Amino acid sequence: MIHIRLGLIGLIGCLGFSLCVGDCPLDHYRIGCNADGIAGTADDDQLFVECSQIYRHSDPNHSSDPTWLFWHYPMYYSAMYSRYQIGEPGFDIITDDTARHLAGTANRDYCLWVECVRIRSGLTARNTSYGILFQQPGDRFCHSTMPESHIHLQYRLSAPAGQAISTPYWITYRIVDSLGKYEASEEFTLVFFADPMPGDVVVDGTVVGSDLMRLAEYW
């Protein structure tokens, strides 16, 4: 899991969409398998997450433009709720690439779960329509049992009015298949407010040996 610069910004007024990704202006993680797209290689049965939209509209002053300006999303302050919030990116399934498309039927041939591996304290992600809440490692939801494969979470951070946030907040996910057809994906991290510090490859607020080890995996 290298923190990759990709993305889009936007504030969602409602949660729980039924639109397909092609109709939704917001960013999405797209879940598939066989990342290299080549049959007969080691990753054929490993899940992966396609991240090309992530951070696409990361300039808060031009939030509708595809700038990929930062390696993080801004959040927008709601005085009504005394919190920062943003409603993207969402999750969906790859449907337009036969080499990377999941084989079979969701919740019958495979059962995908979105799991939280790490999260900075104070940050939450939720979809109140479906009872989804991420606030600590181990929290998860079953993507394969959702009414639609296209789903958005709202990311929130409570803060008194006027409090500026200048340090990064993050959540690290992975995708697992509880039926065992597919191997778990690599971890992938979503960052808000500020870019991670130089050298923080794992994205946990520190630069230690684990960052060097993770970097070496991709050298």
Cα 140 → chain centroid: 13
Question: Per the domain annotation, does 78 fall within a domain?
Answer: yes
User: Which of these, 118, 122, 113, lies nearest to 85 by C-alpha position?
Assistant: 122
- The more confident residue out of 213 and 75 is 75
Region at 34 (left for phi over 0; alpha for psi -120 to 50; beta for the rest): left
Q: Provide the number of structural domains found in the chain.
A: 1
Cα 35 → chain centroid: 17
Judged by DSSP in three states, 217 sits in helix
Residue 145 above 90 pLDDT? Answer: yes
Which is it for the CA torsion 187, 193, 198, 200, positive or negative? negative
Question: Per the domain annotation, does 148 fall within a domain?
Answer: yes
Query: H or E segment at 211?
Result: helix 209-217
Using the structure block, give the residue that is written with the tokens 């917001």. 26
Lowest mean pLDDT among 30-44, 80-94, 203-217: 203-217
C-alpha distances out from residue 51 to 2, 29, 78, 122, Å: 11, 5, 28, 25
Question: Per the domain annotation, does 32 fall within a domain?
Answer: yes
Question: Per the domain annotation, does 9 fall within a domain?
Answer: no
Separation between Cα atoms, residue 83 and residue 144, nearest integer Å: 30
Tell me: the pLDDT tens digits for 21-47?
Answer: 558 899 999 999 999 999 999 999 999
HSE-up of residue 148 (Cα within 13 Å, Cβ side): 15
Judged by DSSP in three states, 72 sits in coil
Question: Per the domain annotation, does 68 fall within a domain?
Answer: yes
Relative to beta strand 140-142, strand 90-93 is unpaired
pLDDT at 66: 82
Using the structure block, give the residue that is written with the tokens 């304290």. 121
Question: Per the domain annotation, does 3 fall within a domain?
Answer: no
Question: Per the domain annotation, does 83 fall within a domain?
Answer: yes
Q: Name 81's Cβ contacts closer than 8 Å, sequence gap at least 6.
A: none
Separation between Cα atoms, residue 161 and residue 98, nearest integer Å: 48
Residue 12 above 50 pLDDT? Answer: no
Lowest mean pLDDT among 63-72, 80-89, 174-183, 207-216: 207-216
Question: Per the domain annotation, does 4 fall within a domain?
Answer: no
Separation between Cα atoms, residue 84 and residue 193, nearest integer Å: 10
C-alpha distances out from residue 112 to 126, 175, 190, Å: 18, 7, 19
Separation between Cα atoms, residue 44 and residue 134, nearest integer Å: 29
pLDDT at 2: 38
Write out the residue range of the structural domain in which residue 108 sits: 21-217
